[in-house]
Structure 1
Amino acid sequence: MKWNVKGNGIFNTRSFYREIRGTTLVFSLGKVFGLLRFLRGWSFFLWTGIGCMCHNNGESVDHLLIHCDIASPLWGVALQMFGIQWVCRGMLFLCYLAGETGLVDDVEFFKEMGINPIKVAKALMEVFAEMIFIHGFIHGDPHPGNILVSPEGRNGFCLVLLDHGIYRQLDEGFRIDYCELWKALILLDENKIQQLGERFGVGKYFKYLPLIFTGRTIDSKSTLLGGMSIEEKRNLKQELKSLKMEDISSFMESLPPEFSRILRTDGLLRSIISRLGASQRVRLLAYAKYALYGLSPKLKPQSGLEAIWIIA
């Protein structure tokens, strides 16, 4: 057999790479099978694993086997020749096909199905609060496209959670500290908040934790659900004027990774329940309730919620 691409008829990977390289990178089966006839043993694996470095995505295994326009088709053909169906470790695809569903913020869909959007908001917050405070897991990307609502279920609907690509387990020590933080936020225990702030690495910025999570200042006289008084808002506005961009940057950089993920998740959930017409009272009550459950293993919350978890 002769490799017609080269004048001497001898195959090498460089000539093959130049042959298939182009604007569209379309592979013909003839070329692929022709390549496989020439390659023997480890030469194929070396070529697809090393010779075709396109310098994207760190040349990870997932990239070379799935996403690379050059290596992936070759691997696919080679494995299919042996009847192998495969996925990479950490990849699992399921389909949810149980009837009609709507996005979690689709209020019009809820009206059509007779679903109360406020109840959806409460269920959403309780599911995520239980997940974080009790089980120590966090779904890091709960945007509306990843949360569906089905009109089926014991309570007239159920939540369908998708895409756990950045799903993380919290360190047990962090989970307990986070529960303690919410207990301190509820009681506005300044000493405890400062102690936990130091543990989280935020230092002098601990006094802003109540503001970030509950909308109250550290020295607020209002209740958890009462909001800030006019005087407190005026004092806060004056204090924030003294903050510089370096302060904000320093605060964000000092946060442990788990804290950053929680802030992102919490921000997305706040946005969703606002679009559902629910007040932040729903969120605060759910967090307060499950934070206390998280500190008391003997207590078992009976939420009666129904959720389906789909990994994608």
Structure 2
Amino acid sequence: MNGSRINNVEYLKAHNIKVADVSKEMARTFSQMIYKDGFLHCDPHPGNVMIRPKPTGSPSHCNFEIILLDHGLYRELSPAFRLDYAKLWTAIMASDKEEIKRRAMNLGGIDAYELFACILTGRDWDVIQDAQLTRKVRNKAETSKISTGAGNWLVEIADILARVPRDLLLLFKTNDLLRALDEDLGADDGAQMRTFAVMGQYCAQIIFEEEKKDIQRRIAPSNRNSKSISVMAKSLGAWCRAYLTFIAKTISLNVFVWWIDQSQAETILYKILSKLIP
């Protein structure tokens, strides 16, 4: 099979494959598996992921293809788990502490939700509670703080890892491997924020789809109250709110990802807009 390990930066350069595009496509690929398909490859270390230039006839929308190898460690994620996980990430990105606490309990029976969120994201709690995941790049100071904190909270971390379900434990592992891959690639500073934004798009979609199903259940013929005017009006209002929320999140995240791409490429458009926007 033609191609190379995905972290072979020289190979990427030789085939005009941008590291930022690879990072973004990996985020999309694994978000698709986690949130939409519910069937996850849980061992994406560089030896298990190949990349090659896009061959003729390929459906890939990039100028390359990503090939996953070693299919011995997959996990099937239930719809309920995926929904809870999507709501957890949405809460983390919005710094909704009560919702983080609720979802941490639902997913893993975890009381120490702050530490739980830090383990999941690989970020410091101050960044999370200030809603800076998609705005602030992890720097050396934060990395040092996390390393020190990990030593201080070793017993608590071990307790969380021992208690969480295997599905969640494998997601921890997958997230860590994907972050490590970005570091191996030497991905730009926007890679971290771009990954969270791409994930946010998938979370918004799965939450909206579940809200639609809930509304459909309310107005189903089998529901005796489905034909009442009040139920129909409330259902229509709920659908409109859910749809508008979904559209607003999707547009804002799409614009955010686009802006990161422009900023990292330092395009002329970015330079002009950055001077116009305070």
Structure 2 residue corresponding to 1:174, chosen from 77, 81, 84: 81
Structure 2 residue corresponding to 1:250, chosen from 156, 159, 184: 159
Cα distance, 1:244 vs structure 2: 4.9
Structure 2 residue corresponding to 1:284, chosen from 196, 216, 219: 196
Kindly indicate whether the alpha-carbon contact (under 8 Å) linking 1:216 and 1:227 is maintained by their aligned counterparts in 2.
no
Q: Distance in 2 between matches of 1:203 and 1:275?
A: 32
Kindly indicate whether the alpha-carbon contact (under 8 Å) linking 2:85 and 2:107 is maintained by their aligned counterparts in 1.
no
Structure 1 residue corresponding to 2:184, chosen from 270, 275, 283: 275
Q: In the alignment, residue 296 of structure 1 is paired with which amino acid?
A: F
1:68-111 CA-partner distances (Å, limit 9, x unpaired): xxxxxxxxxxxxxxxxxxxxxxxxxxxxx4xx211111110011
CA RMSD of aligned residues (A): 3.2
Residue 295 of structure 1 is matched in structure 2 by: 207
Q: Distance in 2 between matches of 1:149 and 1:111?
A: 12
Q: Distance in 2 between matches of 1:121 and 1:242?
A: 30
Kindly indicate whether the alpha-carbon contact (under 8 Å) linking 1:150 and 1:159 is maintained by their aligned counterparts in 2.
yes
Larger Rg: 1
Residue 219 of structure 2 is matched in structure 1 by: none
Partner of 2:112, secondary structure, is helix
TM-score, with structure 1 as normaliser: 0.57
Correspondences of 1:219-258 after superposition (within 5 Å) = 220-227=129-136, 240=149, 243-258=152-167
Cα distance, 1:241 vs structure 2: 8.4
Cα distance, 1:118 vs structure 2: 1.3
Q: Distance in 1 between matches of 2:53 and 2:137?
A: 38
Cα distance, 1:229 vs structure 2: 10
TM-score, with structure 2 as normaliser: 0.64
Residue 130 of structure 1 is matched in structure 2 by: 32
Q: Distance in 1 between matches of 2:201 and 2:150?
A: 34
Partner of 2:104, secondary structure, is helix
1:103-132 CA-partner distances (Å, limit 9, x unpaired): 111110011111112111111111001110
After superposition, the Cα gap between the structure-2 partners of 1:149 and 1:193, relative to the gap in structure 1 and judged at 3 Å, is: same
Residue 45 of structure 1 is matched in structure 2 by: none
Cα distance, 1:266 vs structure 2: 0.8
Q: In the alignment, residue 203 of structure 2 is paired with which amino acid?
A: A
Aligned residues: 202
Q: Distance in 1 between matches of 2:69 and 2:138?
A: 40
Partner of 1:223, secondary structure, is coil
Partner of 1:204, secondary structure, is coil
Residue 44 of structure 2 is matched in structure 1 by: 142
Structure 1 residue corresponding to 2:104, chosen from 189, 197, 207: 197
Residue 23 of structure 2 is matched in structure 1 by: 121
Partner of 2:132, secondary structure, is coil
Kindly indicate whether the alpha-carbon contact (under 8 Å) linking 2:53 and 2:65 is maintained by their aligned counterparts in 1.
yes
Q: Which runs of 4+ in 1 moved over 6 A?
A: 298-301
Q: Distance in 2 between matches of 1:245 and 1:150?
A: 40
1:165-195 CA-partner distances (Å, limit 9, x unpaired): 1111112211111011011111111111111
Kindly indicate whether the alpha-carbon contact (under 8 Å) linking 1:138 and 1:167 is maintained by their aligned counterparts in 2.
yes
Cα distance, 1:162 vs structure 2: 1.4
Kindly indicate whether the alpha-carbon contact (under 8 Å) linking 1:274 and 1:280 is maintained by their aligned counterparts in 2.
no
1:232-275 CA-partner distances (Å, limit 9, x unpaired): 96xx77x9489554322211111111110001111111111122
Q: Distance in 2 between matches of 1:223 and 1:241?
A: 21
After superposition, the Cα gap between the structure-2 partners of 1:228 and 1:222, relative to the gap in structure 1 and judged at 3 Å, is: farther
Structure 2: segments with no counterpart, 5+ residues:
213-245, 255-278
Q: In the alignment, residue 126 of structure 1 is paired with which amino acid?
A: R
Kindly indicate whether the alpha-carbon contact (under 8 Å) linking 1:270 and 1:283 is maintained by their aligned counterparts in 2.
no
Kindly indicate whether the alpha-carbon contact (under 8 Å) linking 1:150 and 1:157 is maintained by their aligned counterparts in 2.
yes
Cα distance, 1:282 vs structure 2: 2.4
After superposition, the Cα gap between the structure-2 partners of 1:166 and 1:150, relative to the gap in structure 1 and judged at 3 Å, is: same
Correspondences of 1:86-105 after superposition (within 5 Å) = 97=1, 100-105=2-7
Q: In the alignment, residue 285 of structure 1 is paired with which amino acid?
A: A
The sequence identity of aligned pairs, in percent, is 26
After superposition, the Cα gap between the structure-2 partners of 1:167 and 1:203, relative to the gap in structure 1 and judged at 3 Å, is: closer
Structure 2 residue corresponding to 1:185, chosen from 84, 88, 92: 92
Which of the pair is proportionally richer in helix? 2
Q: Distance in 1 between matches of 2:131 and 2:169?
A: 27
After superposition, the Cα gap between the structure-2 partners of 1:200 and 1:243, relative to the gap in structure 1 and judged at 3 Å, is: farther
